[in-house]
Amino acid sequence: MQKIIIPKKTGKQGIGAGVWNLGSGRDPFGGPTRPEIPVLDRLPLLAEAGITYIEAHDVEIPRHQVDEAKRLMKKYGLKMGMYTPSFFADAIFKDGAMTSNDPTVRRQALKNALEAVDATVALGAEVMVFWNGREGFDFVLGKNGQDSFRRMLDGFNAVGEYARKQYGKSSPRFALEPKPNEPRANMYLSNVGEALYLISRLEPSIQPLFGINPETAHSRMAGLDYIWEVELCLEAGKLFHIHLNSQDTTRYDQDLPFGYTEPLKDLALCVVLQDAKWDGILAFDVKAPRTDRPEDITDILNVSAANLQRLWNKALKVDRKKIGQFRSRQQYTALAGYLATCLY
């Protein structure tokens, strides 16, 4: 299949998706509903769905498989969009990684992070993501919040120093991915503002290496407006990566197809990204639902990509002058009506 291209987009025009998007349908209440596809066997499926940039955790493409992954990526015309250390899957990270109360676990987390920096470079990705998977607490007073904050600062400073020393100006950049809860009741770096504050407290020489990877569903789980979270990243010059999906109200993280639940807001998001001339990868963090059959496993990517293309094209036609007039006259209901005519 042809690569899906986002027309008139500044910078990278191919679409990104994670290898984990094509899972076996396991959830906290039940086992798999589809056979587990070996991770490297998912690469041709992603290519077939028109994806250009793949994403993976260190537990999915571990160091000893980097060369094989590169061979397959070349074969299928794929590039590595981002790489990320899993700080949540292994039992040792049950209480967090950089914020674990166990110093041995914190040392292991840093070791894994530094190895992931090397794998990120070897795989050719320009961005490495830190998702705050189990950084947080379920019980009050379980952790000292101020100590946890300092432990994150120490950890991220050490990662940045390593990357700069090893790779200099070609060092990958790092993107923190905020999420308010799940799997922990309360997570550190729960929203974009909090992650930006942490970055502002890193060593001044390290700060330029760190930015944000905001995810639609994670903002909406917290009841926050995703567009404002993205605008905040843009204003700070910190939109290093983006994870697009959708979310049916708050509750648990659903990773539904992009453009599904709130298409009008997703249209507005496209307007914001176009006007900012954002040049990074438009990537999906979606999850093939448990009910989809093995042969339909990439439906979620196809639907997300079709929605993104539709909304992006409609956003290109949104009359910015009209938006300016609605703003200056404070005609916000009329603005909402105009956006609806652009969408429907």
Which parts of this chain interact with Mn ion (CB under 5 A)? 215, 243, 285
- The dihedral formed by the CA atoms of 1, 82, 303 and 218, expressed in degrees to the nearest 10: 180
Tokens 């509750």, residue?
A: 251
DSSP-derived letter for residue 230 is H
CB of 194 to Mn ion, least distance (A): 16
What three-state secondary structure class fits 81?
Answer: strand
Closer by beta carbon to Mn ion, 26 or else 75:
26
CB of 245 to Mn ion, least distance (A): 8
CB of 73 to Mn ion, least distance (A): 21
CB of 80 to Mn ion, least distance (A): 16
What three-state secondary structure class fits 285?
Answer: coil
CB of 193 to Mn ion, least distance (A): 18
Closer by beta carbon to Mn ion, 58 or else 215:
215
Closer by beta carbon to Mn ion, 133 or else 160:
133
The CB density around residue 235, as the number of other CB atoms within 10 Å, is 11
Closer by beta carbon to Mn ion, 220 or else 243:
243
Comparing every residue's Cβ against Mn ion, the nearest one is 285
Closer by beta carbon to Mn ion, 112 or else 216:
216
Closer by beta carbon to Mn ion, 60 or else 215:
215
C-alpha 117, offset from chain centre: 17
| Alpha-carbon gap, residue 298 to 301, rounded angstroms | 5
Closer by beta carbon to Mn ion, 151 or else 243:
243
Work out the angle at residue 313's Cα, subtended by the Cα atoms of residues 309 and 318, and round it to the nearest 5 degrees: 145
CB of 338 to Mn ion, least distance (A): 32
CB of 12 to Mn ion, least distance (A): 18
DSSP-derived letter for residue 251 is S
- CA nearest neighbour of 267 among 225, 235, 310, 220: 310
Tokens representing 303 are 């639907």
Tokens representing 123 are 């795989």
CB 289 within 8 A of CB 32: no
